[in-house]
Structure 1
Amino acid sequence: TKLIDEGEDDDGKDEEEDDEKEKENAAFATGSTSLHVAAARGNLEEVTKLIDAGQDVAVPDENNWHPIHEAARGGHVEVVKKLVDGGADLGVMTYQGGTALWWARQVHGDKHEVVRYLEAIGAPDQGDEL
């Protein structure tokens, strides 16, 4: 029989929620915004809500990562489209050296839908070799 710790459901959801909160807090410690976190997770509903509420799509974290970089690296094409519609700068590079298209290509390869979308809209592909 499985013993259940105090405060934990038998499905482990409290522990999963704690892990998510810990990741989110770590992100905020690097200067990320709620929009960075939602973009990295591919949460289109939250990204839409934050943009509609006026959150700036161009706010960088301490490494000059913008929400567009997070969404592109995560392979979240619908979030990338929403950020582009919201005015994201496709030419901005992270301090590690790379545009959103470059990061998407590094992580997902040439045939991924994020890469194809960014190429189709003329996004610059600049970056340093990893």
Structure 2
Amino acid sequence: MKLFGKKNETKLDQLDQAEKAVNKGLTGLLTKAFVGKEQMDQINSSIQNAKNATLASEGAIPEVATATVTAIQDTGQLVNYDPMVILQLNVMEPDREPYAYRMQTLVSKLQIPRVGDVIRLGANPADSSQFVYLGICG
């Protein structure tokens, strides 16, 4: 008998519930009424980044490119004590010239990339024109 939720709930299920609570129903309506649009966008962005990080850690997103970190900036946001950062990258895809790319992503505090590090990138499941951070190479 499970009185207070499911014991076998995955992290993605929990993130889906959080997204529904923020965006739908009475709770979502009240949240939208009392929280500004900018903060709602930040909340939804954080939830989406956490979903992408979970998929990446489970190996569900294939690697499509590598990139060299040219700059890193802290946004001041934390999700489960992991920082949200802005990465300036030099992306190297097969059969393409290297190009500059900027992305905001959630990184593990145990694997924060530094300038000069080579990182792995995957295709974003929600938008194939964007990348998902998969971690440091090597």
Q: Answer whether TM exceeds 0.5 for this pair.
A: no
Q: TM-score, length-normalised on structure 2?
A: 0.25
Q: TM-score, length-normalised on structure 1?
A: 0.26
Structure with greater helix share of residues: 1
Structure with greater strand share of residues: 2
